[in-house]
Structure 1
Amino acid sequence: MNFKNVSTLVAALLLSPTVIADSVSIPYAGFYERLKQVNKNNYQLVEIAFSVPKTDNCKMLSGNITTEKDEFPLTFDKQQRLYLPYDAQLKSDRGLLNIEVKGDASQCGVAMQVRAKTTQQEYKHDTLIAVKNDMDALLDGQQGFPMKYFRKPISGLTFSFAESEQFVTVEIDGKTQAIKNQLQLTSEQLQNLQILKFNVKPSIVSPYVL
């Protein structure tokens, strides 16, 4: 079986997992290199999130991180986001992420997403622009030579809401509208607005890519 690598944004994770039954082992080194770029530049507003997209055929049961001598727990949440340590020793010791899933492991994947560290119910113009700029800078750091010189800037920001929310009220500079699940604002729209308000906080703020 092949454990497919997928990405919700720009470039897929280039990992080479080994699958046994309904479990998968993935080298920690690939995650470390991406975390290194984030930590080196100390981004204040954005981060990288790794996850195993949840489907009927891919439900995480358990996980750990192992080396030849040690074993550590792998932390993940209900949305199957992986909370990974930034640890040079784990890379040096050739650590492995071991994930057990319920379902068909060949239908699973590991996704990488750039997102805001926190979300707010109200945003001012300067904050939105700063978040977008940090996302662009982080993505530039993730691109290897020479591709970084050909990457287009992101097209704006995407505000995602929990599926349990029926409708979300959005107010942009005093004008109100109702949306379902997601709002996407282009760079031009972000540049022109002054105040953005929601009746509930977004669950995720991520790049909008055309």
Structure 2
Amino acid sequence: MKRNLLFSCLIIVCSSVQAIPISLEYQGFYQRLKQVNKGHYSQVELVFSVPNKEKCRIQSGNISTEKESFPLIITKEQRLFLPFDEKLKSDRALINLDIQGETKHCNIAMQVRAKQTKMEYTHGDIVEIQAEMNAMLSEMQGFPMRYFTTDIAGVSFLFEADSDVTVNIDGVVQSVSGKLRLSRAQILTLTNLKLSLKPKVISPWTNGD
């Protein structure tokens, strides 16, 4: 299981190379979204995905009830955009995925991440993102999955694979490959962060990483 706050639960226990239809109860996702929505977070969000796309590829998907079916938005990174809809919960909706690959490698992952990324951040920007990540994770501690009960160690900036990035922190320039991590101590003292590339994902950095 990947760390960096990538929380996974097994969809189904079997192995196959054929496309397999899988159905998940919408209610479980609704409860997590409801908990997050209580916080009215402006900077961070909870993302659902099927991360191991090399061995578990989504062919198609939809949300269905006994009487209706709705399209499900799935990105090329296999992120699932799920609506927050009480009627879908009360109608006992199902999330249906058509999976290609070995389903023992298939899991639904949840990740806390920044809603938007950019190439320049002030001290206040990063402090706000870090604070909202801590608050969201704290809100979700009651769910029956593995969450970290202590504050995060800092913030991770993930770029495209194998990309070389120039990082300028208060005039001090360095190069990183693929990922930049800022500890809580670094965030406390920095004034300005400039990046030569826009991050793909900004997520919590945990003590376990």
TM more than 0.5: yes
Query: Secondary structure at the residue paired with 2:62?
Result: strand
Query: Secondary structure at the residue paired with 2:52?
Result: coil
Do 2:169 and 2:193's aligned partners in 1 also have CA atoms closer than 8 Å?
A: yes
- Give 1:54 deviation, angstroms: 3.1
1:15-68 CA-to-partner distances (Å, cap 9, x unmatched) read: 766989622111111111111122122101100000001332211110011111
Aligned residue in 2 for 1:65: 63
Amino acid at match of 1:123: Y
Q: Give the direction of change, closer, same or farther, for the CA distance of 1:171–1:11 in structure 2 (3 Å limit).
A: closer
Aligned match for 1:157, one of 155, 158, 162: 155
- Give 1:162 deviation, angstroms: 1.4
Do 2:11 and 2:107's aligned partners in 1 also have CA atoms closer than 8 Å?
A: no
Unmatched tracts of structure 2, length 5 or more: none
Q: Give the direction of change, closer, same or farther, for the CA distance of 1:205–1:11 in structure 2 (3 Å limit).
A: closer
Aligned match for 2:188, one of 176, 186, 191: 191
Query: Secondary structure at the residue paired with 1:41?
Result: coil
- Give 1:166 deviation, angstroms: 2.9
Query: Secondary structure at the residue paired with 1:143?
Result: helix
1:89-114 CA-to-partner distances (Å, cap 9, x unmatched) read: 11111111111111112211110000
Amino acid at match of 1:204: V
Query: Secondary structure at the residue paired with 2:76?
Result: coil
Counterpart mapping for 1:76-155 below 5 A:
76-144=74-142, 151-155=149-153
Amino acid at match of 1:179: V
Q: Give the direction of change, closer, same or farther, for the CA distance of 1:97–1:33 in structure 2 (3 Å limit).
A: same
1:164-207 CA-to-partner distances (Å, cap 9, x unmatched) read: x6311101110111111100111111111111110111011000
1:166 equivalent in alignment to 2:163 = yes
Paired with 2:145 and 2:164, the residues of 1 have a C-alpha distance of 39
Aligned residue in 1 for 2:44: 46
Paired with 1:94 and 1:204, the residues of 2 have a C-alpha distance of 32
Do 1:159 and 1:202's aligned partners in 2 also have CA atoms closer than 8 Å?
A: yes
Paired with 1:202 and 1:189, the residues of 2 have a C-alpha distance of 18
Q: Give the direction of change, closer, same or farther, for the CA distance of 1:15–1:37 in structure 2 (3 Å limit).
A: farther
- Give 1:7 deviation, angstroms: 6.8
Paired with 2:6 and 2:78, the residues of 1 have a C-alpha distance of 20
Amino acid at match of 2:165: V
Q: Bigger CA drift: 139-148 or 40-49?
A: 139-148
Aligned residue in 2 for 1:181: 178
Q: Give the direction of change, closer, same or farther, for the CA distance of 1:64–1:132 in structure 2 (3 Å limit).
A: same
1:36 equivalent in alignment to 2:34 = yes
Higher relative contact order (CA 8 A, sep 6+): 2
Unmatched tracts of structure 1, length 5 or more: 1-5
Q: Give the direction of change, closer, same or farther, for the CA distance of 1:97–1:7 in structure 2 (3 Å limit).
A: farther
Query: Secondary structure at the residue paired with 2:156?
Result: strand
Amino acid at match of 2:22: V
Do 2:9 and 2:109's aligned partners in 1 also have CA atoms closer than 8 Å?
A: no
Q: Bigger CA drift: 53-62 or 119-128?
A: 53-62
Q: What TM-score does the superposition give when structure 1 sets the normalisation length? A: 0.88
> How many positions carry a matched residue from both structures?
204
